[in-house]
Amino acid sequence: MQLFRFLLSLTLFGLFASLHAQNPGADHGNKFEQLGTLITPPNSYHAWDGAPGPDYWQQRADYEIDCTLNTEEQRLDGSEWITYYNHSPQPLRYLWLQLDENQHSPKNDNQYFDPSSIKPVMSEYELKALETWRGRDKYGVNIEAVADENGQALEYTINQTMMRVELPETLGPGEHFRFRVDWHYYIVDRVYLNHLLEATGNAATLPRGGYEYFPEDDNYLYTITQWYPRLCAYTDFGGWQNNQFTGRGEFALTFGDYTVRITLPEDHMVGSTGACLNYVDVLTPKQLERWEAAQTADAPVEIVTLKEAKAQEKAKPAKKTQTWIYHANQVRDFAWTASRKFIWDAMPHSNSDGKRVMCMSYYPKEAYPIYSRYSTKAVAHTLKTYSKYSLPYPYPTAISVEASNGMEYPMICFNPGRAEPDGTYTEIAKKSAISVIIHEVGHNYYPMIINSDERQWAWFDEGLNTFVQFLAEREFDADYQSWAGPPHQITAYMSMPKGELEPIMTNSENIKDYFSNAYLKPATALNILRETIMGRELFDYAFREYGRRWAFKHPTPADFFRTMEDASGVDLDWFWRGWFYSTDYVDISLDSIKWYKVDLENDPESREITQPVRASKPFRDLSQIRNEEAGIVPADEEDPELQDFYSNYRPWETADSVTQQKIVIYDEPFSKKEKQQQFSDKNYYELHFSNKGGLVMPVIIQWTYEDGSTEIDRIPAQIWRKNESAFTKVFVREKQVKAIEIDPYRETADAGLSNNSWPLRQVPSRFQVFKKHKIESGINPMQRANGKYTDD
């Protein structure tokens, strides 16, 4: 007890002494504090360790949909039965459905969400985008009927892209309700809306589904997405999801089982979420035979060949219709595609759990050169690698459709990948097709299986998916030029002026640079976490555990953050704070190096010394010196708009005041012989670092010795925990150092490379040593208590 009290008083004193001695400025921020209230508190639904809690629940909605595609009028008519299961502990008086096609209706006000202005020269599409909604009254969902099982009409209210349906009776916990919705809508021209999007950058017209018209052969390619009124997500963390669909923030959805019957002209080929239940009715005997052969093939088998597709697209349109029937279990959405132009190939993938998954591609002849070679193989490769980093692929099919744009749905996704008209293609076109295929197929995991709320958090599926995409690409080709992953690729974005940035933890609708913020930065952060901070073994275990815990459930970012720490035993709060909750960037500067040798000759005359005092010449930091040597004119001198580039730039601070405080009285000198034996070959390098970007990160130091050999030191980020802006650290080396480089592998996203290296040429300073010493002041008593210093 007494000892404890004594230690406690030492500790308190030590804490203050240490703060005073080492942190004279206001450099001690909160970068290493726990997330505290920044993160959603745990509860019995989302537990303290990041797993689903003991009372976890989620809703369920099953669908049985009949729809008819009218290829003359570009209209889709549907009738659906929905069974909604209330698994929540809360009674419900109404249900909310999403009417996403109302994105394209003038009744929606998303066209007012983005500013616009007149420019001196404007394109046709820029002008059209100023009145996007003119003449577009027919678009959006037309609700024809909402009724219960007895045919009794149900009251409903449409609020832009959502519809509230009144329940005849309160739906209690554990109860379910079956009702019908009849509807139709006119399909939008995806290509036209894409032109508007490209002209303005506003997501209001962003077409995730619709038709593409091919004037050369008078055919259509349909991608039918967000097409049926479907339940909004109702969760323990948000109640009914009530952020309208503006075109930007993606989807929050409920799992369920689907049976979908698609009726359309018999000359159309269909690809869809789910397993087709009646190929025997809709395929020709020859196609059926090829489909059977594909089940055991070791390369893609063309079920509809290029030749057949070319003949079909020229044939007279069929009048007769047929119905394709699909069934899917445990999916959060359902999408399909149809065209007379499709080539269709398939091959099996042997899943890590032993099950067979049919990997398939549908594409028009325009994409044949790239798609026939790469698409289905890229699909299989995606399943193989994603399974490794999460869980075995749980669905029977995985489909890549070439539709000149990218968007993901369960088991099916739409990607670009056309060749030049002469059938040639560039390496870039090929790689970008493969990248998008891996990305969109990868979305089967994030967010289709690991069902996050995309409307709230774009990064939560895009970032995780882009990260695993990077792993998959590196495993596709060792030199793959990925969108994201290599840390040096993100530095330009992260070091932009703060006014252009927002933290990753920002709602999907409010992000300026969507791609950089929600895809590239989080993917890079996870790569750094894996390679530099945690190591592959700890990271991969925790990342897989996250997938295992939340497959077919609704995770929140807090569940991810907690699981990564809980399963790895690594406290990462500082990392989430810096990378996910701040707009800091990484720029660690090696400001100065001092080289010391022990003074072997002179014994002390005086018992009282101070640490060497730094030369008082005006200091210029290394990047300035290096730039000046190279004759580089800083960009901000040429472009005044860049002058606030380093908005949080901290001028270099001397540490002189700190070192001069330490007055040490030494007792017993070493003999000359002892000094010779112990210190003659020791070099002491005192490195001074400052944090110019604000983001605290590990400091990776590469030493190059006079004999040409190299060595790496890895200083954990915690070096910054008491002073987030600067630290000095001494390294003892027997070999003489020729050069020092910080972050030699460019693994920390350090944006300022000019202050990362230092060739060492100066003559060393010398300092004196003593055997035992008594501390008068300046040394923290806690250090004595810890035995670092002896006190006689």
The tokens for 641 are 């708009």
Comparison of 185 and 457: residue with beta carbon closer to Zn ion: 457
CB of 471 to Zn ion, least distance (A): 15
Question: b/e per residue, 656-685, with b = 16+ CB within 10 A?
Answer: eebbebeebebeebbeeeebeeebeeebbb
CB of 622 to Zn ion, least distance (A): 40
- Which amino acid does the sequence have at 124? E
Q: Which stretch, 83-91, 243-251, 462-470, 487-495, contacts Zn ion (CB under 5 A)?
A: 462-470
Rama region for 138: left / alpha / beta (φ>0; ψ in -120 to 50; rest): alpha
CA distance 596 to 790: 24
CB of 699 to Zn ion, least distance (A): 34
Comparison of 462 and 565: residue with beta carbon closer to Zn ion: 462
Chain-centre distance for alpha carbon 669: 59
- How far is residue 386 from each of residues 64, 253, 391, 439, measured CA to CA in Å? 30, 22, 7, 11
Q: Which stretch, 108-116, 218-226, 457-465, 534-542, contacts Zn ion (CB under 5 A)?
A: 457-465
Binding string, residues 235-274; x marks residues near Zn ion by CB under 5 A: ----------------------------------------
Q: ω into residue 416 within 30 of 0, thus cis?
A: no
Residue 93, classified by CB atoms within 10 Å of its CB into exposed (0-12), middle (13-18) or buried (19+), is: exposed
Task: Count the Cβ atoms, other than its own, within 10 Å of residue 701.
Answer: 22
CB of 452 to Zn ion, least distance (A): 12
- Which amino acid does the sequence have at 11? T
CB of 323 to Zn ion, least distance (A): 32
CB of 518 to Zn ion, least distance (A): 9
CB of 436 to Zn ion, least distance (A): 9
Comparison of 376 and 469: residue with beta carbon closer to Zn ion: 469
CA distance 537 to 539: 6
CB of 224 to Zn ion, least distance (A): 19
CA distance 36 to 416: 43
Q: Which stretch, 34-42, 214-222, 455-463, 735-743, contacts Zn ion (CB under 5 A)?
A: 455-463
Task: Count the Cβ atoms, other than its own, within 10 Å of residue 316.
Answer: 6
Comparison of 101 and 462: residue with beta carbon closer to Zn ion: 462
Comparison of 462 and 747: residue with beta carbon closer to Zn ion: 462
CB of 465 to Zn ion, least distance (A): 6
- Number of residues this chain uses to bind Zn ion (CB under 5 A): 1
Identify the DSSP state of 366: G
Q: Which stretch, 143-151, 456-464, 533-541, 550-558, contacts Zn ion (CB under 5 A)?
A: 456-464
For Cα atoms 460, 465, 470, give the angle at the middle one, nearest 5 degrees: 135
CB of 211 to Zn ion, least distance (A): 22
CB of 265 to Zn ion, least distance (A): 32
Q: Cβ distance 494 to 533 under 8 Å?
A: no
Residues 6 or more apart in contact with residue 236 via CB below 8 angstroms = 43, 45, 46, 56, 57, 88
CB of 411 to Zn ion, least distance (A): 16
Binding string, residues 340-369; x marks residues near Zn ion by CB under 5 A: ------------------------------
CA distance 282 to 327: 15
CB of 204 to Zn ion, least distance (A): 19
Comparison of 462 and 743: residue with beta carbon closer to Zn ion: 462
Which helix (H) or strand (E) segment holds residue 163: the answer is strand 162-171
Identify the DSSP state of 40: P
Comparison of 464 and 699: residue with beta carbon closer to Zn ion: 464
Q: Cβ distance 412 to 337 under 8 Å?
A: yes
- How far is residue 147 from each of residues 39, 46, 60, 70, 692, measured CA to CA in Å? 42, 35, 19, 25, 63
Residues 6 or more apart in contact with residue 71 via CB below 8 angstroms = 220, 264, 265, 268, 317
Comparison of 462 and 750: residue with beta carbon closer to Zn ion: 462
Q: Which stretch, 89-97, 137-145, 266-274, 461-469, contacts Zn ion (CB under 5 A)?
A: 461-469
Comparison of 210 and 447: residue with beta carbon closer to Zn ion: 447
Chain-centre distance for alpha carbon 84: 32
Comparison of 441 and 572: residue with beta carbon closer to Zn ion: 441
Comparison of 300 and 447: residue with beta carbon closer to Zn ion: 447
CA distance 103 to 99: 8
Comparison of 431 and 626: residue with beta carbon closer to Zn ion: 431
- Which amino acid does the sequence have at 45? Y
**Residue 756: which of 584, 532, 588, 533 has the closest Cα?**
588
Comparison of 344 and 459: residue with beta carbon closer to Zn ion: 459
Collapsing DSSP to helix, strand or coil, 666 comes out as strand
Comparison of 86 and 444: residue with beta carbon closer to Zn ion: 444
Comparison of 95 and 403: residue with beta carbon closer to Zn ion: 403
CB of 472 to Zn ion, least distance (A): 13
Q: Which stretch, 330-338, 373-381, 459-467, 540-548, contacts Zn ion (CB under 5 A)?
A: 459-467
Place of tokens 């530095």: 491
Q: Which stretch, 140-148, 207-215, 267-275, 458-466, contacts Zn ion (CB under 5 A)?
A: 458-466
CB of 250 to Zn ion, least distance (A): 8
CB of 588 to Zn ion, least distance (A): 32
For Cα atoms 3, 7, 11, give the angle at the middle one, nearest 5 degrees: 170
634-693 residues in contact with Zn ion (CB under 5 A) are none
Comparison of 236 and 462: residue with beta carbon closer to Zn ion: 462
Which residue sits closest to Zn ion, CB atoms considered? 462
**Residue 221: which of 176, 270, 177 has the closest Cα?**
270
CA distance 139 to 136: 6
Residues 6 or more apart in contact with residue 658 via CB below 8 angstroms = 21, 22, 24
Q: Cβ distance 55 to 71 under 8 Å?
A: no
Beta strands in 405-555, from DSSP E residues, in sequence order:
407-409, 412-415
Q: Where do contacts with Zn ion occur on this chain (CB under 5 A)?
A: 462
